[in-house]
Structure formats: structure tokens, C-alpha cells
Structure 1
Amino acid sequence: MKPFYSNFRIKNKIFSVSLLLLIIFGLLGLVTFQYFTNLYEKRIYEESADMLQLSSSVVDKELNMIEELSFQVSTDTVIQNYLKTINENRFSFESYDTKVRLLERMLSYASARKYIASMQIIDLHGETHTTGFDTSLENDTGKIRRVLSGSNGGNVWTKIEGENGISSARYIRKKANLSLQEMGTLVISIDMDTFVEETLNFSPENKDMVITSQHEIFYQSSDSDWEVSDFANEENDSGYMIESIDGEKYLLTYSRSNFSQLTYHHLLPYGDIQKQTNAIKVIMIVCFLLMLTLTVLLSKRAANNISKPLEALSSRMKKVQQGDFSESSLPEKFHDDEIGELHDNFQLMLNRINELIKENYTKQLMIQETEYKALQAQINPHFLYNTLDSINWLAKVNKQEKISVMADALGNMMRNIISKKTPMITIKEELEIVCNYITIQTYRYEHRLNFSLDVEEEYKNSKIPKLSIQPIVENAIQHGLEEMIEECRIRLSITEAGEDLEIAIKDNGPGIETGQLEGIYRGEIRSKSSGIGLNNINERIKMMYGKDYGLEIDSEVGAGTTVRIRLPYMTE
């Protein structure tokens, strides 16, 4: 069944494909944008939680130092002696002098941190002794006593009513003789604005930071009117959530203190996170609409420009189909593009039709002649084989063993060369050609030719281009043996070189001069007999296997020549 759009006109297909691609890319862009938007928002959430975790760790560390300072002050022997004097002699001059020295002692501790607004000691008579840079911060002593009553003597944190600050409070108990008798109450008031500015100066955004404890907001860094119920949904020790507060969505991150009852919160308006993604979304929609409009206009125009010349060409083809070959030249209104080339080529085709018809008869005659010659080429080798077999038979009848062996070797050699049509043969088959050739030459040169073969059986199944070794052996005889009086020794060996095979043909001939070697590599010096030069073999091998393979000739005048063939070791 054909697709429903198969019968659409080309211009409608082009328009439909363009529109479909735009819609697909638009949807992919939307999905990709949504994915990366979610990834971006999640990263913002995690970074906000990590920043709060870091901030809470710093705040925890500082508040812990305040607790340690509170413990140090409450157990200070000097301060306890001053309190003992004040508690026992309330209205004496000695008590007044002791109060002054107590304040001086307390001031030395209060100056340890810039954010300590004041330090107060409430004696057993209820009198408050206050020092620090801001003594206006007043604590509700009744609330402090109520909170301390359930503290088991430890430090407690409490909110300073009406102020944006918190206080550290603990009982001062007599440490002499470990009596732990109550001697008064120590309250350290902290200016939280200064505290946050000093301790969290590494964070660029500290606004909307809130510290809560149980059912009360201890501190908030902005002027927003938060309620403690807004922060009552945290389930874990730390994390983040999207929370709707007073109709507005916030990213709320929280982290509980590791050593106190405090919980730290940070609020980031969700609109700030979405502001940038919404702007990108609007830009994407505008760009998509703009691209849609341009695609509709341009695809229609392009479809018309393509379809009109094709329709004109189709009309011309119908005329030719009806037998009208008298077409005019290429219309001038078409551009010199691919469709214009189609019109031009169609016109050239029409102009050539008659010539092709006339040439067809001549080509048929040439084909018949070629077939005849091919048949002749098949008959001639068989005639040659039959003739050699006849010579071999007659030689045996007349007991001419040498002639019989030479005719048999030549026949085998010709069969191996001509009968094997493939360009690749095994080394074993190539060596058969070489051995048949050596057999003929041995009867010709007799004791002057000494040929030896050193080939492992495992290498004989490797593939080699046909007539790669025999011409080199023939060259060794033609250029070596014929130019020397003494015995010519030719040794053929095959060794393994890594993953390749190296075939070496070595002779003890007169050698080759440097100039002649360069001529052989350039193909200027050819074989005297077979016509297959060393350069021809070298180029064939490089063409088949690459530049890393081929021939290498080592020769020294008076010391002989070695020709090495490097081939890949392959059995298939």
C-alpha cells in the first residue's frame, strides 16, 4: 500500500516536508527547553540548600562559641566572688564598688564579639547589671526564668521581644565545693543584623533568612511579616520545598541546628527563579512563530520555482513519447541550475537520438567481432597446450627426456599463468610457476644455475598477486647469470615480519649500480624477457595493499642483489 502522500504534487510535498520538519524541530526544542529548565531549577534548589547548609554551619559554630563564652563567664571565679559579695551585702559601699568591677569584668567578655549587643547578670535580688555597646536591648526576665526552669542548668536560647535579636541565658551556679548553689542569671544579647553581617559575609544574598525555635520566630532578616506556621511543614533535618505563603510561591530551604533547638530557613521567591526561564520561553515562542511564517512563505516560493520547470520538462517528454523529436532549444526563462541542466541534457539527448540509432548497427557488428576474438583467445591456449602435450609425447617416444621435461614444465607453467583468471593466487601456486620456470632454465644453463628454495609450509596458503615472484627470479637470471662465468646462486626464502610476510630473492650476480637502481624504481629500466618490470610489480602491490608494502632492492656492485617483497600475511 502506497503512502497517502505519494500522489501529492512535488510543490505540495516540499511545502509539507518543510512544515513538518519545522514542527518536529519546534517540538524537540520545546522538550529540550523544558528538560534543561527543570535541570536548571533543580540545580538552583540544590545550590540554595547547600548555601543554607553552609550558612547554618557557620551560624551554629558562632552560636556554639557564644554558649562556650556563656559557660566561661558563668564559671569565672572572679565574677562568682563579685556576685557573692553583691548578694550578701546589697547596699554597702563594698557592694557598690564590687558592682563597678563586675561590669568591667563583664565588658572584657562582651568585647570578644562585635555582634554581642549586651551582657547582663541578674543577681539574687533581681537587680540587673548590664554592659555592652547597646544596653537598650531589654530581655523579659520573667520569660527567661520560665525557660531556664526546665533547662537542667544548661544554656537556652530565647527571643528578645520587640527586637530583632536573640539571647543566650543560663544560671550562674556556685562552683566552690561543687555546691551548685544558684548565684544569679547570665544573659548575653546578640544583635542579629550585625551577627549575620559579620558571620555570613561570604553569601551575596542573606535576605529572607529566618531562624525559628519550636513555635516561635527568633529572627528574620527582612521586614516581611512571616508567621511561624509558614515554617511548620519540614519533615527532615534539612532539605527544600516549594511553599505557598500568603498566595506567593517560595523556594523554602531549611536546616536544623546540630546542637540546639534552632532551625534555619531561607526563602527565595519562586518568581525570581522563573523570571529568566519565562523570558527565554517567550523568546522561543516568538522565534518559532517567525520561523513558521518564513517557512510557509519561502517553502511555497521554493516549491513553485522547482515544480514549474519540472512541469515544463514533463510536457516536453510527453511530446517525445508521441514521436515528436523536433524540440526547440532550452527555454531562456529557466535558471542555470540542476533543473536547467535537465532541460539542456534532455535537448542534447534529443539531438543525439538519431546519431545513436545510426551508430547502433555499427556497434552490433563490433560486438560480434569482439565475441569472435574472445572465442579465438579461448581456443588458442588450448591449441598451445595440446601442441606441448604432443611434443612431450613424441619426446618420450623417442626417449628425449630433456625435451619431454622442458615441454611438460612449459605446459604446466602456461596453464598456471593463463588458466587462473583471478589476480590473486596462493604462494604455493606462484611457487609452482617459479619451479616450472627453473626446470626449463636448469636444462638450458645446467651446472651454471644453482637455485634453492627455503619456504615454510604454513606460508604457502597466504595470498599473493599473480606473477609477483617469477619475473624477479627471471630478472636475477637475465641480469645475473648471463653476465657472469662462474656459478649463479639464487636463493628464494620467505620469513614472517610482524603481521606481514617478507619474500627475499637473493643472487650473487654482478650487482646493480646506484643510477640503475633509481631507473628501476622509476620504471625506466624494464625486464629483458618477460616485459614485467620490477616497477610494475611494485606499483601493483602498493595499489592493492598501500604504501607500506611493495619492493625493496638492496644491491652492491660485485656483491650481488637482494630483492625483498613485503606483503600482508593473509590466507583468505
Structure 2
Amino acid sequence: MRRMKLWISNLSIQRKIIFYVYLVISPILVLISTVLFISNYRTSIRNQIEADINLVKSVEESISVIQSDVTDLSIYLCINSDINQILTSGTPQALNQNRRLWMNNAPMQFVEDIIALKGYIKTIAIYPENGVFPYLRCIDSSAYLPSIEQVRNTDTYQASVANKGEVTWARVSRGDSDIYKANRTDKIVMYREIYDLSKKTPLGYLVFGIDARKYTDLCKNALQQGDEGIVVLSWRGEELTRAGEVDAEILQYVQSTAYTATPYQQRDTYFQYGSYNVFCSQSQKKGVLVCKMVPKSAGNSQLYSIAMLPVLLLIGLLLGLWPLLQFVSNVISKPLGRLCLAMDKFKKGDFEQKVTVTASDEVGAVTECFNQMVEEIKELIDTNYVMALKEKESELVALQAQINPHFLYNTLDSLYWRALHNGNEELAEDILALSQLFRLVLGQGKGIIPVCQERELIARYLQIQKMRFTDRLEYSINIQEDMLDYYIPKLILQPFVENAIIHGLENTSATGRLLVTGCLKGGYLEFSVQDNGIGMTPEQVDGIWNMDDSKRYSSQRIGGYAIKNVKERLELKYQDDYRLHIHSEVGKGTTITIAIPAKGKVVE
């Protein structure tokens, strides 16, 4: 919580406004989205239940239509007078002499045309009880039992006789015998006994074999997902066909008397059993029962699609709020932004900042106070800071004035001409270099000079030191040409060069190497003074910055005081917009890095 408060406190005013508006509105939008999600979910579940109920009902109706067509065809055969004449004939031996009895004396050609038209009836058999040869027709290469005597021994025959002419449906899988001598395909078989009009005397036994794939295809079309299952039962609870994943426990339940004992009109078309939603349909007392089993987990897959609309609505509203909040927050934050920009420029030294007051609210009052504060601070700086700067400049002038310039110039000129007159040109050049060095250091008391003059000053100084150290000193000055016309404070490099020679190379017999470089980098003039002298400890480096003011003029050598003076002058001129770094290691040398803004150039 503390980190959250800290994070919020560090936000800008504009972002705080946006954050708090979102903090207030987001829960409301989330609540609305949740209500929409729950409503959509319930509606979707209700629609899905209705859809599954309708699917199961559609399957049950389609199967009922098939069975009704077959039942109607069987009724036609039972009441057909031509067929009745064959079934009631007292001279079966005479009829059996006619090999085309059924085709010539009964409407079997018509029946076969209907079977061909329907497509799903694969076999038909009529077994007369009076000894006439049966009519056996198999389209799928199956084969019926050849005689009524063999048929009477089957369970299905016994059940049909017990039903007194009622239709019986059963499944006969491929390879099972029952009524068939050879069964080539899965079938849903209809059995019924043919009676006379008084329903007392059995006349024959009628069998239709329906392709079970017709049932299975209807069931598969009702499955929407791979983990669903559907099963078709006869009115007695015997399984006719199935498709998909059928749960054994649910199947056992719907086949039990606990379920079938309830009148079919009073049964629930939808109920839950374990981890499944179960949908059942039965429209007739002795019609088929169709049950579909849908795992409850299947509804979870709908959550994604259902949740998408509220989530997209939530995201759309949150994104749509962004430009609106940006506009509203700008009304407040923009004046504050102008005020912050003015404060930032003021912090960097621009004391002419003044923000226009555009409103009379709290922001306007703060802006007015800022303008007044700037005026008062500017007056304070004019009276204190400028005085301190002049004092520092006076110290530099006092340091330069320690030697009488005119006396030095005249003396050095006399020595130069005498050395030249005596033929000692090398000495004359050294004296000339010393003279030019003093002219550069003391000339006209200028505090700001071009880089090229600072480079010449260093070059003359090193030329004189070369005369002293001869082969013990090697130096190189590499300052880029494109920075020579920029103005810099006078004597910000020479003190470090002198310190490198006096403190770094003077106390060692090894050859001293000094490298002075300069380049333009990122809008800054960056200089480096590097030597391979004896180096300094961290304590000695700290001692340079913390030198006691009482030692300022105790020595003619510039040394540590001049280095500290350089730092003070850079602070006065550039405030924090400069870099002065000393890196030194004992026995390895010292590297001085100075970086100041590249401002002001010589105008030709």
C-alpha cells in the first residue's frame, strides 16, 4: 500500500486525474459488464437447453416417422386380401408348386418398389403359418431362416405371439442370428404376428429389417461436440442405436423401471444426472425414447464467446474514455505544465520567466505567486550572485597582477635579442615562448577566451617545460579544429597541465608523457588531460577540493588552489551544467576530464 501511495504521489497532475477517474469508473463498468455477462450466460444456457430439447425431439420425430412408415406398410400387408388368401389357403402344397406365387398372387412387386423408394428397408420376410413357402427378400445379402419351424424357436417370435399382433422393435447387430441365418449389416428389426380379423388365429409372421445407419446418422446430426452422446431406446427400454460418448450410468438409469414406470407425458424432458445434462423425448406410449447426454463442462466453452461481448464493451468504454479524459485533464494540467516549464527554465538560470495568468482559480493564484517570486529572486541574485561573481573575477585579476607585466615583457624582450645576437637561437626561442606565455596569461585581463588561445597557452607552457625536462617530457595536443572558435573561461586547462608536470612528472626519473585532447560531444566541449606520472591517492584528490582558503596565496605555484579555483569559476558560470572529474591511480597516472556547454563562438 505504501508503494502504491508513493507511485501515485509521483504521477503528474494529468495522470492523477486520469488514474482517479478510472479508479471510480472502472468498478462501475466492471459491475455492468458482470451483470451483462450473467444475463447473457443465463440466456445462452436457456437457449442451449431449448436447442438440445428441440434437437432430441427432432431426432425422435424423425425416427418415429421411419417406424410409422414401416408400421403402415406392415398393416397394409396384414390386411391385404391377396396375401390373406395365401395365408388362409387349405392347399399349401398346391401353392408351393408356383415358384412365383408371391409375385403373381400378391402385391409384392408394389412392396418392393416402396422398399426401393424408401431406401432404408433392407430386408422383408413373410412366414405363413399354413405351410406355404415364406416370402424372403434381402437387399443387403443377408439371409433369413428358411422355414417357419425354425423361426418359432426364436425369442422374438415368442414375444410377437405374446403381443397379439402388436409391433415389436429390436436391434440385431451384424453377425447376430435371431431371425437371420446370416446377417450382413446392423439392423433395427420390426416383428409382428399376422392374425385373422378376429385376432384369434395366427396366420403368419412378418419381419422388416431397417438399416441401423439411418438411425445412427440421425443421432450423429444431433451431436454438437465430441464428448456428447445420444441413445435410442424402444418403449421397453431396449437399446436400438447410439452415437457419441454414452454414459453407462445414465443409460442404466433411463432403462430402469424407476424412469420407465413414469408415464411418458410426465417425464422431464431435461434433467441433470451427475456431471451431465440429459435431454429426453418420447411422443408416444410405445414409441422410441431418445436421450442425449451433454457434459456440463461443455457449457464452459460457451463462457468465452459469452464473455467476449461484455469484455469488449468494457475495453471499448475504457479506451473511449482515454481521449475524453485527456481533453478534460488538459484543461487543468496544461496551465500547470506551462508553470512547471517556466520553473524548470528558471532553475537552469533563466530569470526572465513570467507565465501569463489565464484564469482566476487556484492555478491562476499559484501562477501569480510564481511570477512575484521570480521577480524577487531576480532582485536578490542581482544584489548577491553578481557581487560574488565579481569578487571571484577580482581574485583572478589579483592573481594575474602579482607580477608586473611591463617589467616582464621588457626584460624578456632584452634577453631574447641578446640570445639571438649571440647566436643561441634555441635559447631565444625558449625566451620568446616564455614571453608569449606571459602575454597570454596576463594580457588584457580577459576572463573568456577562444579555445585556440587556451591551446596556444598550453603549447607555450609545455614548450618551456620541455626546455627544462628535455627528453624526460613527451607531450601531444590534439584538439579538434571545429571547436577552436568556441569561447571558454580562461585558464581552465593550464592549471591541470601544470599540476601534471609538477606533481606527476617532476618527482620521477621515468619519461613523462602528457596528452591533451579536446572534442565536441553531444553539445559539450570535452577536454582531457592525461599523464603517466606518480598518480594520487583518493585522499589527495579530496584534498584538492577541500583546500583551506588560508593557503590560497601561500605559493607562487598555481597547484591545488588553481584547480579549486577552476572548479569554483565553472560553478559560477555554468552552475550544474558542467562536468569536472579526476581519475588517478598511484603509480599509473592521472586523467582529468572537463566538459562544458558549447556556447558562443568567435565571429569573423
State the TM-score, normalizing by the size of structure 1: 0.44
